[in-house]
Amino acid sequence: MAFKAIRTALAVVGFGLVGTMAAAQENPECIAPANPGGGWDFTCRQVGKSLQDLGMIDKTMQVVNLAGGGGGVAYAEVVNKRNDSNDLIVAASSATATRLAQGAYPGNTMDQVRWVASVGADYGMIAVAANSPINTLPELLDMIKNDPASVSVAGGSAVGGWDHLKVLIAANAYGIDDVRTVKYVAFDGGGEAVTQLLAGSVQAFTGDISEAKGFVDSGDIKVIAVLAPERLEGEFNKFPTAKEQGVDALGANWRGFYAPKGMSDDAYNMWVEKIGKLYASPEWKETMAANGMAPLDLQGAAFEAFVAESVAQIQSISKEIGIIK
């Protein structure tokens, strides 16, 4: 999961490099709620560096690593101590929304900050080994329905994490009533999970499209469903969506920023506009295409609504499977 985050975030590097607007933030600061080397850290560090190189900000963007609690420490810091800072943005992703939804940031909710903008998304997918007899998503879900013990699904996130929820969303949409019977095995990152799929320890894999690109290219695994509203562009076009197989399931891992609640409207609008323009640049589109990232073009209020919706969705499924009460 952490590794996937790094990967997506590094794609964000491109976005920093193509920025063209000039705007002066006084002491711009980006909080990465994790240690250096993590996905959130890359987002901040590279964006900051590139912004300065391009002369968009006069002072160096201070990148502050505030690790702990899966982002919860940083969230609490922003809410409690930095609530009126105009110069501050914080890296976030689906993982942030998942934890907010499950109450994993004790005492904090999503409306305690302002959500700025997204910079892209990575759609979920479900795959099996190339030599597996399973060819479609309904076949896999049928097997799970008939004998849940016969199929182990591997993913890179913890139980209740995003990779796990994706497969549960699919199972739920297919009419498996007690999704808790789905056997999910958590690994340290998508790469390790794919390796165990190849080794034959598990029967299916749930992850993001970008995680398994190398193995899809080499033909070692086959993607049986993409959890996107419609087929992806480019070389990923050949994979069927879950929807067209009759399973109405969506799962997007987005990446973006939030800012303190007390930020002035001017400052907020400036950040929104900046990231929006960067997102629109052709260079950024190229970076996304090369990485199997899908568009997710949301800024300001639209992004805020999107986050609220995904928090609500995660909350309801988490309740259903009993992760939260």
Tell me which residues touch another protein (CB under 8 A): 2-3, 6-7, 9-11, 13, 17, 35-37, 41-42, 45-46, 49-50, 53, 62-70, 72-73, 76, 102, 104-106, 149, 152, 158-161, 180, 183, 185-189, 191-192, 194-196, 198-202, 210, 213-215, 217-218, 220, 290-291, 321-323
CA distance 283 to 103: 37
CA distance 37 to 34: 8
Assign residue 130 a region (left: φ > 0; alpha: ψ between -120 and 50; beta: otherwise).
alpha
- Asked if 245 and 67 count as a contact pair (C-beta separation under 8 A), the reply is no
At 118, give phi and psi (nearest 5°): -100, 160
Q: Smallest gap, in angstroms, from Cβ of residue 152 to another protein?
A: 5
Q: Give the SS3 label for residue 310.
A: helix
Q: Smallest gap, in angstroms, from Cβ of residue 217 to another protein?
A: 6
In SS3 terms, 231-282 reads as CCCHHHHHCCECHHHCCCCCCEEEEEEEEECCCCHHHHHHHHHHHHHHHHCH
Of 143 and 290, which CB lies nearer to another protein in the complex structure? 290
Of 134 and 298, which CB lies nearer to another protein in the complex structure? 134
Q: Smallest gap, in angstroms, from Cβ of residue 123 to another protein?
A: 17
- Measured CA to CA in angstroms, residue 84 lies from 3, 21, 90, 117, 271 at distances of 32, 24, 14, 19, 15
Q: Smallest gap, in angstroms, from Cβ of residue 224 to another protein?
A: 19
Of 167 and 298, which CB lies nearer to another protein in the complex structure? 167
Of 164 and 243, which CB lies nearer to another protein in the complex structure? 164
Q: Smallest gap, in angstroms, from Cβ of residue 265 to another protein?
A: 27
Sequence-ordered strand ranges (E) for the chain:
29-32, 62-65, 88-93, 113-129, 152-155, 183-186, 204-208, 221-226, 252-260
Of 63 and 169, which CB lies nearer to another protein in the complex structure? 63
Q: Smallest gap, in angstroms, from Cβ of residue 248 to another protein?
A: 23
Of 41 and 304, which CB lies nearer to another protein in the complex structure? 41
